Structure 1
């Protein structure tokens, strides 16, 4: 267990770093914001239209966001729908608090 004066454990630090890296791009922030506000699954085409960036770029960003579980993918036949992972995204403010030295809560489990 970490105390105030000890750094985060390596596994925790790596997990939080992957979250920060995933959000270190303006387009990915736009996608997360869009999906969080939409509150229902969206196709790549709908996201492309809303964000105004090409399909291949959006697909690339969605892959990164899904790898850290901020975005969940629902396959429907040959297409995919994307939605925000409410459980995982709700952990993110906790990550920022922990990195900034606030009390360490139980490690979030983002499925």
Structure 2
């Protein structure tokens, strides 16, 4: 695997995926709502707080789950989504590693 400085190709790909996941204002708002709630929420609860439809919210949550920014948990016929504080806390370190200020870390 090629490395430029202290960031490997794999880490660069991971970080780019994280940035893409946050490149949509609705996804940022969903993360903010989940973090502020301090508890897992259903898609329906989130839809009630944003100005987009259920399918759009579900799509955005799928993208956030793929990078582990949210953690889905099935409960009966519903899925609850919780913010993954551990993963999101690594995000600033990714920025610092891109700047060459810190050793890269993963989520």
- TM-score under structure 1 normalisation? 0.88
Q: Which runs of 5+ in 2 are unaligned?
A: none
Which residue matches 1:50?
Answer: 49
Which residue matches 1:102?
Answer: 101
Higher strand share: 2
Which residue matches 1:36?
Answer: 35
Which residue matches 1:22?
Answer: 21
State whether structure 2 residue 97 is matched by structure 1 residue 59. no
Distance 1:91 1:63 in 2: 20
Shift of 1:101: 2.0
Distance 1:85 1:103 in 2: 22
Output one character per residue of 1:21-79: Cα deviation in whole Å (capped at 9) or x when no partner. 10000000000111111110001011001112100000000000000000000101111
- Taking only aligned residues, the RMSD between alpha carbons, in angstroms, comes to 1.3
Q: Which runs of 5+ in 1 are unaligned?
A: none
Which residue matches 1:91?
Answer: 90
Q: Which runs of 4+ in 1 moved over 3 A?
A: none
Distance 1:37 1:97 in 2: 25
